Structure 1
Amino acid sequence: MSATQPGKKPTVKQQRAAERERKLEAYRKREAKMKRNRLIAIWSSVGVGVAIIALIVTSVVLTPRAANYTAGGDGTEIEGVQTFENASEHVQGVVDYAQTPPAGGQHNPAWLNCGVYEEPVPSENAVHSLEHGAIWVTYDAEALSDDDVSTLRSKLPSTYVILSPFEGLPSPVVLSGWNSQLQVDGVDDPRIEQYLEEYWQSQNVPEPGAACTGAIDGPGKVA
């Protein structure tokens, strides 16, 4: 096809050819843009997938695995365990407990949902959970490091247990069940597991097997 001479109007054939060339160029640009967008989408999906996998792996690695214990115990005596004779009664308001932390006695009609708490929880609700067979594991936040708390958490079962800090403890860690209690000086004390094996979900509580969920959460619940 000959070029259009200066000052001469393009022929219809030349105009159509130019229009086809313009449309073809526009088509090429659209295709190139779509290809770039597809590549961006693919690499974005890959990046999201890698991030999700990394989060899953991190969660599996960092989430403490619950320990296993046999509910009920077999009557084994554990050195240092104290036992009491607290009565069970539902009351409103603040209770002045005989033990620190409480290991039974009067308590709020609503139990505390079992779980891991990073703040002190209401004793009156926690004691109600003990009535159902839960164990309340309390620790001195100033005496234990974050690693210590993680170690302590790794020793706990997945349910029927409350972990929380508590002010004014007689030892760095105290485990309390209904009318029983163990004080230990560190998270590596083997009696922690022994106590849980013996007193966790005990049948020697006023309401064995009653729920430890479905009531109220205390402040600072994280699990």
Structure 2
Amino acid sequence: MGKNAEGTLKGRLSALQAEQRRAERRRRVVMISVSVVVAGGLAVAATAFVQADRAGRSLDAVQTINVSARNHTDKAVSYPQAPPVGGDHAPEWQNCGIYTKPLRNENVVHSQEHGAVWVAFRPGLSKEQLDILLKQAQGRDFVVLSPYTGLSAPVVLSSWGKQLKLDSADDPRLTAFLRANINGPGTPEPGASCSGGVGEPSV
């Protein structure tokens, strides 16, 4: 091979190697850019998921109602909420637990005064929805679960001065409400007995 030909070949080889190095650098830049975009997308998706999860468990929709009266009375009380969230009530509290029949407001309000959450559901709620409520109530102290005629929502959670209406029993706010309001900060007599009163729970 002549010197000219050899020089030409070396030049072409050098140019080819240079082009390969440039191509490799371009590939690296593209890979880094793609990685950054993918990582950013995953971070955004993760943030959105966390925010959605927090929003799903948020208790911002809980109504806070001022309750000033809490005298004992043997008379029927006309409550502004259904179910009530406190007020004058019967001298005997409702034993906490699971009931298959509607309960007397005045007795359950006394239980709320002791720190109980009343989980009321519409009669005729589906078995699947009832099963969810039963799992939430079983083994939990200070919960009264019962049907309630005329509810404005399928499930209504009520503690002393607090109420949350739910369209479904599998709403994650149900658990959040129970945790926040069983013997919650607004309870007049937190930790007072939720047994030894009236009623025989079915479970």
TM over 0.5: yes
Offset of residue 203 of structure 1: 3.7
Q: Given residue 222 of structure 1, which amino acid in structure 2 is its aligned partner?
A: S
Q: Given residue 114 of structure 1, which amino acid in structure 2 is its aligned partner?
A: C
Residues 115-170 of structure 1, C-alpha deviations (whole Å, 9 max, x = no match): 1000001110000000000000000012x112211111212352110000000101
Q: 2:152 matched to 1:152?
A: no
Q: 2:65 matched to 1:84?
A: yes
Between the aligned partners of 1:155 and 1:111, the Cα distance in structure 2 is 21
Alignment match, 2:167: 185
Q: Percent identity?
A: 42
Alignment match, 1:166: 148
3-state SS, counterpart of residue 137 of structure 1: strand
Offset of residue 77 of structure 1: 6.3
Q: How many residues align?
A: 145
- Greater than 3 Å deviation, 4+ residue runs: none
3-state SS, counterpart of residue 89 of structure 1: coil
Offset of residue 85 of structure 1: 1.1
Between the aligned partners of 2:59 and 2:105, the Cα distance in structure 1 is 25
Q: Which runs of 5+ in 1 are unaligned?
A: 1-75
Q: Is the 8 A contact 2:161 2:186 kept in 1?
A: no
Offset of residue 79 of structure 1: 2.4
3-state SS, counterpart of residue 119 of structure 2: strand
Residues 4-25 of structure 1, C-alpha deviations (whole Å, 9 max, x = no match): xxxxxxxxxxxxxxxxxxxxxx
Root-mean-square deviation over aligned CA pairs: 1.5
TM-score (norm 1): 0.62
Alignment match, 1:99: 81
Between the aligned partners of 1:100 and 1:222, the Cα distance in structure 2 is 23
Between the aligned partners of 1:154 and 1:79, the Cα distance in structure 2 is 24
